[in-house]
Amino acid sequence: MKIFAYTLSTVVLSLMVMSFITMPKASNYHTEKIESVYKTSLNELTPIEKQEAFEYFAATGDCTFKGIKLNGKVKYVTSFPDIKIQYVTSFPDIKVKKVTSFPDKCGEWQIVESFPDFTVQIVTSFPDLKVQLVESFPGMK
């Protein structure tokens, strides 16, 4: 009986050691480069994803779009903008207040001609963000 237990424990120990030593099997993974799985425009989001994104912005105080803080010095351009915006009177993505100095809070924009924090282009269709101009309470929904 002792010989059987000794032999069994030796076999089990041998199998455990071999499992650590064996070489991993070659993988057959797809090696194509994926450009991006992230959606970079609000237009690419479904209505449910868009609502969840704005709930996240409101809950966390995150006031960014594509990594750009949505406050600060803004320059209007006609081509190659950081963000395309459309002015609306209802259902905006962000409410913006134009200020003359210290655009520190979310939705406060100071319009400048040089050294902007980001650039925007005003469009009539397919905007990245829908903007409503307000006199008070700027920010995300």
Model confidence pLDDT, tens digit, residues 53-73: 767 766 666 788 888 999 999
Using CA atoms, how far apart are residues 61 and 127, in angstroms rounded to an integer?
Answer: 22
For residue 58, the model assigns a pLDDT of 64
Question: Residue 24: what residue type?
Answer: P
Q: In Å, how far are 40, 68, 87 from 97, measured between CA atoms? A: 25, 17, 12
For residue 44, the model assigns a pLDDT of 74
Strand duo 118-122 + 83-87: pairing: parallel
Query: Per the confidence metrics, is the pTM higher than 0.75?
Result: no
Given phi > 0 = left and psi -120 to 50 = alpha, else beta, which region is 126? left
Given phi > 0 = left and psi -120 to 50 = alpha, else beta, which region is 110? beta
For residue 1, the model assigns a pLDDT of 67
Sequential pLDDT tens for the chain (141 residues): 667 666 666 766 666 666 656 555 555 545 555 455 555 666 677 778 777 776 776 666 678 888 899 999 999 999 999 999 999 999 998 999 999 999 999 999 999 999 999 999 999 999 989 999 999 999 986
Q: Where are the domains of the chain?
A: 37-140
